[in-house]
Amino acid sequence: MAYTGEPAARLGRTRFGQPPASSIAAMELRGCRFLVLLPHILRAVIALEDKIIVSKLGDNATLSCIYRERELRLKNLRVYWQIEDDQEECSVVHAMISGQDNESEQCIHFKNRTQLFWDRLERGDFSLLLLNVSQSDEHTYKCVVLQKTEYTRMIHQAKVVLSLAASYSQPVLIGPIRNSNSAGEEVTFSCRSGNGYPKPIVYWINKTDNSHLPPSELKITNHTDGTYSVFSTLKVKATSNMQIECSIENKVLRENLSANYTQQNQSSGSSTESHKNLEKNGRGAQAAGIVSIVILIGLLVAIICWLWKRRSSIPVFYTVGVQSNEDRGGLNSSV
């Protein structure tokens, strides 16, 4: 039988349906190239994550920019730190030219607040220290390193995103004052916290079933130092076993602070009242005991004084009697 089809090599297949040796070699080569590039891809992803820096308000932040190729000569380098946002009127954060700081084009907002690590520059560490950071420093920063030999060329650049945050204070949760007959009535809880940044997320949680409850009021106040305070209220129908939680979340710092309220049952209230009565009775018994002791001491003092007076009067009469007897004895002896 004559074979009228295309040659196997032309179809990219052998007669047994397998790819030719050349195709297998090409696929293996591509696989090897991917494996070689994989560590570089992973390092690039890790480097991107490391460029996001979180700093607390008022702290100092280090913006990283490291070039690890070879030893460098500062006199041939120009290092520029700038804000990437083109909408900024002034974008120069810090500049170093030929081994010297250049402040001629530096934004006034960054005057006396930036510095390089001079002992690290020749090793390729061009990181920038930014002092006393505030909300106005939240930007994406770009580090550009230029080298001048025969001509000027860029040898390194890096981007750093600076995010600021401040921890919120421990929430204060105030629950309603209830009596045993208020089940089913609407009651109000309030929760407050402050001195945090950025704006928080507030959660009200019913701990009996872990369901989220919508706040009745949410007020966030911005203070002059840039921090925020938050006040929220929750109105719910009272139950016999209320367990309410107020949670304040700071997403930047990944902090979640909470305060809890648990309704006390009637027996605990009765025991508290009994404790107060016992304490009151104890104080009355203590006062009565003190009065009794004072009266007893007074009686003892009176008895002692009376005995002392009686003892003092007896020796006087005894002495007079003895003297008279001696006188009589003397008279008798003289006769």
When pLDDT is cut at 50, 70 and 90, the band that residue 81 belongs to is very high
- 186 three-state secondary structure: strand
Sheet containing 128-130: order of strands: 61-63, 128-130, 114-116
Among 35-44, 197-206, 288-297, which is the least confidently predicted range? Answer: 35-44
The pLDDT of residue 181: 63
Residue 318 C-beta-side C-alpha neighbours within 13 Å: 5
The length of the chain is: 335
CB 253 within 8 A of CB 212: no
Looking at residue 69, the DSSP 8-state letter turns out to be S
Q: Two tokens at 63?
A: 């913006």
- 192 three-state secondary structure: strand
**Mean pLDDT of all residues in 30-34:** 47
Give the chain's largest Cα–Cα span. Answer: 194
When pLDDT is cut at 50, 70 and 90, the band that residue 245 belongs to is very high
Among 22-31, 189-198, 299-308, which is the least confidently predicted range? Answer: 22-31
The pLDDT of residue 329: 47
Q: Rounded to two decimals, what is the model's pTM?
A: 0.57
Stronger pLDDT, 48 or 220, i.e. the higher one? 220
Instruction: Quote the distance between the C-alpha of residue 98 and its chain's center.
Output: 43
**pLDDT reading at 304 higher than 60:** yes
Stronger pLDDT, 246 or 149, i.e. the higher one? 246
**Mean pLDDT of all residues in 85-111:** 89
pLDDT tens digits, 146-186: 998 888 899 999 999 999 999 999 999 999 876 656 678 89
Q: Which domains does the chain have, with CATH numbers?
A: 54-165 (2.60.40.10), 172-267 (2.60.40.10)
Among 247-251, 313-317, 322-326, which is the least confidently predicted range? Answer: 322-326
